[in-house]
Structure 1
Amino acid sequence: MLPSPDSSFCDVALLYRQQHGWLKTWLRHRLNCSQSAADLAQDTFMRLLAKEQVPHLHAPRTFLAKVAQSVLCNHYRRQKLERAYLEALAAMPEQVAPSLETQAILLETLIALDTILEGLERPVREAFLLSQLEGLGHGEIAERLNVSITTVKRYIGKAGALCIMLDDSLDLA
């Protein structure tokens, strides 16, 4: 006998059957592309499936629109990141440009890093980026963020640990 699916899965399945068409249309109006709308609608429901429990919904379309808006923001951020990456590649001399395979791996890594950094609390993300991109020391970062040096070290350690875990999960060796 098969185990019964948990109620959260059933809730999402019902929500999918009832609202998937509406959500796809809602996204298509924002994207002007039916294929991207279909992909992001799926991403929206996948995000719901990843949750432990979906709340009881009195206004399912409002809820779906809020989740889809977050998915849409991530989509636009990834597009912007990809454009910047492609512009940087185009500016490279051809003889030093990475292979197509390496380019794909680098883009995947950039997107994963962006996702991790976006999930951090703002001061943690800022401390890490000030350290890594601007080369500021702990004291300078503490001053800018108006926190202690110990807090800056904790922030940078937290973000760095997530990046190390990402490196391990990508297994780029």
Structure 2
Amino acid sequence: MSALDHAALHQLYSENNGWLKGWLRARLGNAADASDLAHDTFLRVMTARSELPIREPRSYLSAIARSLLIDKVRRRTIEQAYLQALALRPEPVEVSPEIRLSIIEMLVSIDALLDELGTRTRDIFLAVQLEGLTYAAVAERYGVSVTTVKNHLIRAMTRCLLVIES
């Protein structure tokens, strides 16, 4: 980072950090989480390839923070669903914090991956994987051929494997 970029980043932080924390606190109702997300927002700015100084800094910062907030809520929702699924198991399951974190990170990655798939591909993948429907039943449900179902599943499974390998 050049000295000019460093100075511009310092100015951006000095002029907007307090505002951003307040903006986030109003949405989160929690000063600690607001500080964490403001910090993450400025880290994102530092690693972005954007030109400094930024013309509309508050708009830019709030867009980044909003995206991080959505990610945080999505992650929390996934984590709660995972914990509820564990609690519903007939036998207690002991999972180390490290394994639990790894599982949650994988679930978040798969959730993001499914979000990137087209609606039809995602729906077909979930119908087979979560509902246990046969290819023929899925084909009938969506009015497509079994070959089309297979093609959608290949696309989804390939993406899942890429996430697992990374």
Compute the TM-score of the two structures, normalised by the length of structure 2: 0.73
Bigger CA drift: 105-114 or 56-65? 56-65
Aligned partner of 2:88 among 66, 88, 91 = 91
Matching residue of 1:131 = 128
Which residue identity does 2:43 align to in structure 1? M
Change (3 A) 1:98 1:21: same
Q: Give how far 1:6 is off.
A: 10
Verify the 8 A CA contact 1:81 1:111 in the aligned structure 2: yes
Secondary structure of the corresponding residue to residue 16 of structure 1 = helix
Deviation per residue, 1:39-80 (Å, 9 max, x gap)? 212332334445443597443212322222221111111111
Percentage of pairs with the same residue: 38
Matching residue of 1:158 = 155
Alignment of 1:1-173 (within 5 A): 5=2, 14-53=11-50, 57-95=54-92, 97-100=93-96, 101-137=98-134, 141=138, 152-169=149-166
Change (3 A) 1:58 1:144: farther
Deviation per residue, 1:121-144 (Å, 9 max, x gap)? 444433332332223455655665
Change (3 A) 1:35 1:160: same
Verify the 8 A CA contact 2:128 2:134 in the aligned structure 1: yes
Which residue identity does 1:133 align to in structure 2? L
Change (3 A) 1:118 1:52: farther
Aligned-residue Cα RMSD (Å) equals 3.5
Which residue identity does 2:95 align to in structure 1? S
Change (3 A) 1:150 1:29: same
Distance 1:121 1:52 in 2: 28
Gaps of 5+ in 2: none
Compute the TM-score of the two structures, normalised by the length of structure 1: 0.71
Gaps of 5+ in 1: none
Change (3 A) 1:41 1:120: farther
Which residue identity does 2:32 align to in structure 1? Q
Distance 1:89 1:48 in 2: 37
Change (3 A) 1:21 1:117: farther
Distance 1:50 1:5 in 2: 13
